[in-house]
Structure 1
Amino acid sequence: MRSHAILTAAQMRKAEEAVIASGVPEYELMERAGAAAAEIIWRAGGKRDLLLLCGPGNNGGDGFVIARLLRARGVPVRVAAPGESRTASSLRARAAWDAPVEPVFDAAPATQIVDALFGTGLSRGLDAKLAANLRRLTDRASFSYAVDLPSGVQTDTGELLSDVPLSGLCIALGALKPAHLLQPASGCWQRLICADIGIDASGTKMQRLSPPHLLRPEPRAHKYSRGLVAVMGGEMAGAGMLACQAAARAGAGMVRHITPDKVHGGPGAIVTQQARTAADIARSLGDSRIRAVLAGPGLGRGKDASDRLKPVLGSGHPLVLDADALFLLAEAGLDAIPPGAILTPHEGEFVRLFGNLPGSKIDRALEAARCSRSILIYKGADSVIAAPDGRVVLSSAGSSWLSTAGTGDVLAGLVAARLAVMGDGFRAACEASWLHGEAARRAGAAFIADDLLVELPAAIASCL
């Protein structure tokens, strides 16, 4: 199953309760979970000897089911636990195992290890002795699996509550959880699979970023019908030009670079329009054919930059505000942000603009979107896209090579282009974020921001 729905720990409990209320016994749900995980482990590891670590709760119960089903397939299985099972379903699963259970602290290593100690809902870390044994056994195994989440991970925040060893495969049960996409937890496995156990997650407003479905221009399309993007230039022409080129390659029919000075170089397809005064800029932005305006890349942070930003904010056009524009807005206050704008802050810009909001990165993004009445792309190794109405999309960790100058300018240009093409700000933010990550994947290693531009046509072609 390829699931894009994400549930918090509380939402997962409610979803499970709904299944049980529909007539499915709780233990049957445990059997489903164990069977789904056992099938994945069987396909990955075959008949290699295996050690299952089972905790006291229902995650441990899933582990006992896995052990029983794999043993029936001829896998040499041992089970170890730190103590007795404590829930009705886990006690039943343990009884059905009908074989010895070793003390976890005395367990010998195996070729395969399955961590079913603690899954969703963990509120505190493992004790030091148990965490050390989990690492010892995982490090000695050739194949390692985590059931639902690795033990020691906080479900809703992605925080590591104790030492968490790297697993080869994490098997999410029923739906993805926030920690499957948030750092640092999402760096604790090499591969992630979501197993279907009959959970209905259709009502969630939280989704994983997925490839967009893009449309080719219509046969009668022309440069203005496809969308005119205006990019407000400033002190650093190169940053603005990167954004312009990204917008031009991401579907916009025309890109206009509004600059205080002449810009030399760059593609001939980018129209450069010189505008130094606020009145000049207002006239440039008075074109009713403009579908999106981007301000921030290379804008500057002084008075001149502030003067150039004001007509943008008052233009009435759909806006994308990035980089230096966010710095200036932090000084002006949130009321200066026109409703519906798309903001693209990294961590430092976010804190400067919104302060140290409480909660997980998801909580902070949603609160910032609500109070600013804007769509947010809260960038980082884990990016969160949030809308004022509570919709949120989480992006998997992208290429670490994106940590180089100019890649944010490229993303801002992509957002502006997608906004100009179809006018939906939240969708534009999601499409642009996916295309940005896909271009980085195609660029490989040690790329620079300009290299992303080369990969954009192929990234877009893959979504048509």
Structure 2
Amino acid sequence: MTGPVLLTAAEMGRADALAVKSGVASASLMERAGEGVAAAVMRGWSKRPTVVLCGPGNNGGDGFVAARKLAEAGWPVRVGLLGERENLKGDAGLMAGLYGGEIAPLTPALLEGAGLIVDALFGTGLSRPLDGAARAMVEAVNAHPAQVLAVDLPSGIDADTGDVAGGDAGAAIRAARTVTFFVKKPGHVLFPGRALCGAVEVVDIGIPFSTLEEIRPRTFENQPAIWAREFLRPGFSAHKYSRGHAAVVSGGRLKTGAARLAARAALRAGAGLVTVLTPPEAAAENAAHLTAVMLREAADAAGVAAVLEDRRFTAALIGPGAGVEPETARKTLAILRAGAAAVLDADALTCFADRPEALFEALREGDILTPHAGEFARLFPDIDIAALGKLEAARRAAARAGATVILKGADTVVAAPDGRAAINVNAPPDLATAGSGDVLAGMALGLRAQGTPGFETAAAAVWLHGACGQAAGPGLIAEDLPEALPQVLRALLTPPEAAKDEGGS
């Protein structure tokens, strides 16, 4: 099993080379890839006129195999080639020769009467924006009513970033389904690539899974498999102090709700105790709402430091509703000088925009930063997400900060200082609501307070946040998310056999 591993374009090229080195014929890899594409077509659609668009490289070779297999199964197939037949090299040339039908020039006229289009123009290896005949064909395909199955990746998508090559000025295929090989690539799970891929199917083409041991990939789709071993569940001897004591720094009067959202999420995520540290003027406001979450006054940074001298506090969160002001920065540094692990969100990040090095010098490896794109740009102004892609930007930020970074969004990326990264895929659009990020920070706090390491804490919190969004469903508000955690955790922690027994089947 490859599990949730994602391979970059370079790593996928290396996997192909290692497979060939181990004795697998490269032509065999292409044959199996094309067979997988043809099989996906026949599973997904009834027999209909199908146009296969072949590019000048190996992606086109996969297309020629698929066309041959479909024709052998009695499908009406037309093939168009970008470039000249005599220019095809290696396995792509071999597979073009084995295809017995007509190979037409690649023009929009080829699409007339098509009931299905197979995009085998460019796959993982694309490194430049589409232009000329290729771009004209992509635009014609997108204007055509027939559905598209993309081979490897929709043509025009960067495998490593998920971006359309050329940005807003570029062009890419919009596919209903994508068939890729061996494992997914980051471009399958990062937007806009994820949206343009449609449903993604992974086909085994004979690359030995042992190649992953030599490649040692550092990018993953965020699934429980990558953090389950570090996810702590209390044993019979557990008590509230053994499960960690989390602190949440509240904002001032009329700015307390975000901290309470985070505190409740931390408690639901398993922290044994959670205490809100409140400015005196906001104490009554917080006390009116808190029950299981405790409350202590801490007027300023010195007050926060004094509370955290109690080493039973294992993690602290600051940022939600804290205010972008010097006192927030001082409280943040007080937390970072204490023994408790830190989760820094929202205002705690923005207040260091004019002196980020002061924050980076104080951070510890197990600390967690949770910026959205705007906060990220303020804290890391020279790390350009648009230029680098979200994955690489998060990695560079984590390395610079020396802490785990949760770069939030529809495709949240979690990156560790050691280069590991996880891309999240389970967050529904319903999470785009006020307070949702405060709940995520609280979930991370609750897990970190129990002793889960920084990267695994961040990845698990992001996944749980998405799962709670799915469980709460359309119409959710931030308050619903902590209340969905018991349901999500029960499903996560119940062995399949026990779940089957409970269901009575």
Considering the TM-score relative to the shorter chain, is it more than 0.5?
yes
Where in structure 2 are the equivalents of 1:74-153 lying within 5 Å?
A: 74-85=74-85, 86-105=88-107, 106-107=109-110, 108-153=112-157
Does structure 2 conserve the Cα–Cα contact (< 8 Å) formed by 1:231 and 1:244? yes
Deviations 1:360-409 (A, max 9, x none): 22222111111111111111222211111111111227322322221110
What's 1:238 paired with? 257
Distance of 1:265 and 1:197 partners within structure 2:
61
1:180 aligns with 2:180: no
Deviations 1:264-294 (A, max 9, x none): 4334111111121433322211222222111
SS of residue in 1 equivalent to 2:198: strand
Query: What's the CA shift for 1:142?
Result: 4.3
What's 2:217 paired with? 204
What's 2:45 paired with? 45
- Cα distance 1:50–1:5, how it changes in 2: closer, same or farther (>3 A)? same
Where in structure 2 are the equivalents of 1:187-266 lying within 5 Å?
A: 187-199=195-207, 200-202=211-213, 203-211=216-224, 213=228, 214=231, 216-235=233-252, 236-260=255-279, 261-262=282-283, 263-266=286-289
SS of residue in 2 equivalent to 1:437: helix
- Cα distance 1:74–1:111, how it changes in 2: closer, same or farther (>3 A)? same
Query: What's the CA shift for 1:2?
Result: 7.0
What's 1:404 paired with? 433
Distance of 1:273 and 1:308 partners within structure 2:
15
What's 2:382 paired with? 356
SS of residue in 2 equivalent to 1:356: coil
Does structure 2 conserve the Cα–Cα contact (< 8 Å) formed by 1:113 and 1:138? no
> Which amino acid in 2 is paired with 1:40?
A
Query: What's the CA shift for 1:136?
Result: 3.1
Query: What's the CA shift for 1:21?
Result: 1.2
Q: Choose which of 349, 356, 372 in structure 2 pairs with 1:346.
A: 372
**What count of residue pairs does the alignment treat as equivalent?**
464
Deviations 1:307-347 (A, max 9, x none): 33332121121111111111123334334332221111111
> Which amino acid in 2 is paired with 1:155?
A
Does structure 1 conserve the Cα–Cα contact (< 8 Å) formed by 2:178 and 2:199? yes
> Which amino acid in 1 is paired with 2:306?
R
Between 1:258-267 and 1:292-301, the stretch displaced more is: 258-267
Does structure 2 conserve the Cα–Cα contact (< 8 Å) formed by 1:114 and 1:145? yes
What's 1:273 paired with? 296
Q: Which runs of 5+ in 2 are unaligned?
A: 494-505
Deviations 1:43-64 (A, max 9, x none): 1124333221111110000011
- Cα distance 1:304–1:192, how it changes in 2: closer, same or farther (>3 A)? same
Does structure 2 conserve the Cα–Cα contact (< 8 Å) formed by 1:50 and 1:114? yes
> Which amino acid in 2 is paired with 1:383?
T
Deviations 1:123-175 (A, max 9, x none): 22222553343343454344321111111112222221232242111122222
Percent identical pairs in the alignment equals 40
Query: What's the CA shift for 1:28?
Result: 1.1
Distance of 1:446 and 1:104 partners within structure 2:
47
Q: Choose which of 404, 413, 416 in structure 2 pairs with 1:387.
A: 416
Does structure 2 conserve the Cα–Cα contact (< 8 Å) formed by 1:258 and 1:281? yes
Does structure 2 conserve the Cα–Cα contact (< 8 Å) formed by 1:440 and 1:452? yes
What's 2:26 paired with? 26
1:450 aligns with 2:450: no
Q: With structure 1 as the length reference, what TM-score do the two structures score?
A: 0.94
> Which amino acid in 2 is paired with 1:205?
R
1:154 aligns with 2:173: no
> Which amino acid in 1 is paired with 2:192?
P
> Which amino acid in 2 is paired with 1:350?
F
Query: What's the CA shift for 1:415?
Result: 0.7
Q: Choose which of 367, 378, 391 in structure 1 pairs with 2:396.
A: 367
Distance of 2:482 and 2:48 partners within structure 1:
46
Distance of 2:49 and 2:290 partners within structure 1:
60
Does structure 1 conserve the Cα–Cα contact (< 8 Å) formed by 2:411 and 2:424? yes
SS of residue in 2 equivalent to 1:152: coil
Q: Choose which of 408, 413, 428 in structure 1 pairs with 2:457.
A: 428
> Which amino acid in 2 is paired with 1:207?
F
